[in-house]
Structures are given as structure tokens and as C-alpha cells.
Amino acid sequence: KPDRTQSRLWSERANSVILGGVNSPSRSFKSVGGGPPVVMKRGSGSRFIDVDGNTYIDYLAAYGPLVLGHAHPEVMAAIRSATEDGILYGTPTPWEVEFAEALRAAVPDLERIRFVNSGTEAVMTTVRVARGVTGRNKIIKFEGCYHGHSDLMLVAAGSGPSSMGVPDSAGVTESTAREVITVPYNDIPALEQALDRFGDDVAAVLVEPIVGNFGIVPPASESYLADVIDRTHRAGALVIFDEVITAFRFHYGTAAQMYNVHPDLFALGKIIGGGLPIGAYGGRQDIMERVAPLGPVYQAGTMAGNPLSMRAGIACLQVLRQPGIYERMDRLGEQLAAGILEAAAAVSEPVTLNRVGGAFTLFFGAHTVRNYEDAKRTDGQRFAQFFHALLDRGISIAPSKYEAWFVSAAHTEEDIAITLTAVEKSFKALQDIPR
């Protein structure tokens, strides 16, 4: 077991100044049995190093943004050069234009774009825009999806599949919760039922086209997303794709393009910032023109479009345009997934693995995972044991059974081989722990 004394000491200090010791609750080890999280201090390529000097192969990828791995030289050079010019002007800059042009060249449906600073802001604003444009109040979203921490997005499903929501956080009002209807993903009849009941009052249906937040869960049929859009438009509501995780994850563009569908609005974040704080939203020009200064829907930001994030984003997209980069992540993801399944089978550990390209989730349970109910039924305790077994062998994944492993462009065949050895040992170690 690696020595993690320094991590523990930093955690203790953290706990007495930073609430809960972490700046985002998912970073705590609460859902994997507690204890101090590992405190990292440096990253390079596919690895990062903790404050005790232990090295880990990283599949956390900072919850998604690090598709190029840590400290990619071209992204680092762009940031370094950006800092030499001063870092903030509060005026338009060339880089936000170039970046927006690059995004629209990749995703023509982004007819007009606005940059913000987080995925939370991006989603929150698309919802405001949809309400402003339609003059309607309610939002339909899908159970188990995460869309950032704005009030409206912290609403859980009510008592029935198409009833109004209930607050999913203290501080979210009942009246806010009543504006949100939550339906199961991959279930067109449930969506239809909600639209039948509330249709005239629904401003937008908000969807993660390929779910990333209760594990990687793709649409169960080729036509699912087209059907979501069709039903929603028939009810006179807008479709918002939350592509904060998915954009530029699986190919040089959006999940919408993979399924050849056209939502009205997109929320973006994570990868597009090359590791710096970012969010963006955009879509149909006639809808976006309702945003200030052209229209009555307000949105602003002191740091919005800041040159550092813009220039890191441009550099990241430039690297991602290199031929073969996504094919390689897909191939390594496939190798890793196949090896994991083989190792699980060798010890008769019942698992299921959902993979899209370089991203996958290993669920502890033999059943298919198509929606949040399925994901909830997987074994969190077994996951926690596996998580720690891997961590002790130098493999870092997210401390939650609902998260993905992200293979980045920095991972090598050697990384995969080392990881699979650790995976085999971890599965074997699990067999000594009672279920």
C-alpha cells in the first residue's frame, strides 16, 4: 500500500479551512467509504503525482476536460504565451472570435455562440433563453442526469414518472421544483406522457444525448434522440442538448452529429477549454438573437471569453483536429474495456461495461444499464472496494460508481497494459473480501 501520509496531512489542513476539505463534493471519498482523498500536485501526459510522490495513471481526467492528458505541450504553450499579453481586458478580443469560428466550423448548428465560465452557467442560461423565447415555464429533464448546480437543475423526480419535481438540495424552493419534470432516459412513452400532461407549459426538454452522469449510457436505439426532438417540437418546446461532457469527447464535434440530429440549443464546457475554466452555449441564430444586447434575455460575465480560456481552447481544438486522435482513443478504450471484462470473467465477478469511444463505465452488476434505475441497482460497495484496490495499485478513477473512465490522447499501449495488470490483481483481491 503506498504511503499517503502527506495527502492525509493536507486533507486535515484542508478540513479546517475549506468546507468539507474539498471544493466540489464529488472529490471527497464519501461515496467510497470515506477517508482522506488523494491530494495531487503535478500532472504530465497520462499520469499525475500526489503530494507523497506516488504516481497514478489517470482515468479521472479532471471529470472530463483533460482529453489531451496533463500539461499537453501545445496547450501549455498557448497559455504561457497568453499570459505575456496581460490576461484580461473586459473588451472583445481576437481570440474569442477565432475560438467561436473554430467551434462553428466543427458544429455548424452553433450558428451563434456565447462564452461563459462553467457548464453550470451554460446550462442555466440555455434554460433562461428557452423560457424567454417560448414564454413558457416548465423544463423536462431526465432522471439521474446532472446539469450543474443552478437551482432549477437541483430538482429530483417527484412521486410519479411524469409528476412535478421535488427539491434535490436544501435551499431550492418548492416553487422552483414544481417547474421541473423528470422522466426516465431511454423511455419515449414516459416523455410523451409528460408532454401530454404539461406540454403547453414546457419551455424545453434538456438532455445529455449520451449520458455521462449516471455512468456512460448511450441512447438505446438509433432513433431515440430524433424521437425526443420530434416529440418535443410537436409540443412547441425547444430541445437543449447538454454536451458539457460529450462535445469533442468522441469525435471532433458533438454527440448530436453522431446521431445526425439538430437540437435548438447546446450547452458546452469541459474539453473545449483545454483544462481552463469554460462554458459556452449557442445554437439557432433566431433563438440566440433573443439574448442581450440584441434581445431581452439577460446573460453576462466579467470573466466570460477570457483570453486564457479562449487561447487554451483554440490550442486544444487544434490538437484534436490531428488525424487519428479519436480513432486511437477508441482503440485503447476498446482494449482496456475488453481486458477488464476478461479479468472480471476470470474471477466470475458479475459486471457490465458501457463504452462509447474512449469513455466507459464499469458497473458492478450483470444487468444492462439503460437508465438511472438500472445504474442505481449496481453495487456501490463492490465498486468502492475495487476503487481502492486500483488506487493502491496506482490507477486513478473517479470515486463514484456513476462516473466514467476517460482514456485520453496521452494514454499509451503501455499504460493500458499496466492498468490491466492492476485490474486483474484488483479483481483477485476483491475475491478475498466478502460481498
DSSP 8-state symbol, 118: S
Does 244 sit near ligand PMP (CB under 6 A)? yes
Side chain identity at residue 182, one-letter code: T
Terminal alpha carbon distance of the chain: 22
C-alpha 67/C-alpha 314 separation (Å) is: 14
Active site residue 270: yes
The closest of 279, 242, 225, 261 to 152, measured between CA atoms, is 242
From residue 52 to residue 91, what is the string marking binding to ligand PMP with x (rule CB under 6 A)? Answer: -----------x----------------------------
Which H helix or E strand runs over 434? Answer: none
Does 146 sit near ligand PMP (CB under 6 A)? yes
Does 304 sit near ligand PMP (CB under 6 A)? no
Alpha-carbon Rg for the chain in angstroms:
21
C-alpha 394/C-alpha 123 separation (Å) is: 35
* Distance in Å, CB of 298 to ligand PMP, minimum: 19
Does 219 sit near ligand PMP (CB under 6 A)? no
C-alpha 294/C-alpha 137 separation (Å) is: 22
Active site residue 326: no
* Distance in Å, CB of 236 to ligand PMP, minimum: 25
Instruction: Find the catalytic residue in 56, 59, 63, 146.
Output: 146
Residue 32 backbone dihedrals phi, psi, to 5 degrees: -120, 35
Per DSSP, helices labelled H in 160-211 are 174-177, 188-198
Q: Taking the CB of residue 46, how many other CB atoms lie within 10 A of it?
A: 24
Active site residue 242: yes
* Distance in Å, CB of 41 to ligand PMP, minimum: 22
Cβ-closest position to ligand PMP: 119
Does 148 sit near ligand PMP (CB under 6 A)? yes
Nearer to ligand PMP among residue 120 and residue 419 (C-beta): 120
From residue 116 to residue 145, what is the string marking binding to ligand PMP with x (rule CB under 6 A)? Answer: --xxx--x----------------------
* Distance in Å, CB of 345 to ligand PMP, minimum: 31
The closest of 79, 121, 112, 91 to 314, measured between CA atoms, is 79
Does 282 sit near ligand PMP (CB under 6 A)? no
Binding residues vs ligand PMP (CB under 6 A): 63, 118-120, 123, 146-148, 208, 212-213, 242, 244-245, 269, 279
* Active site amino acids: 146, 242, 270
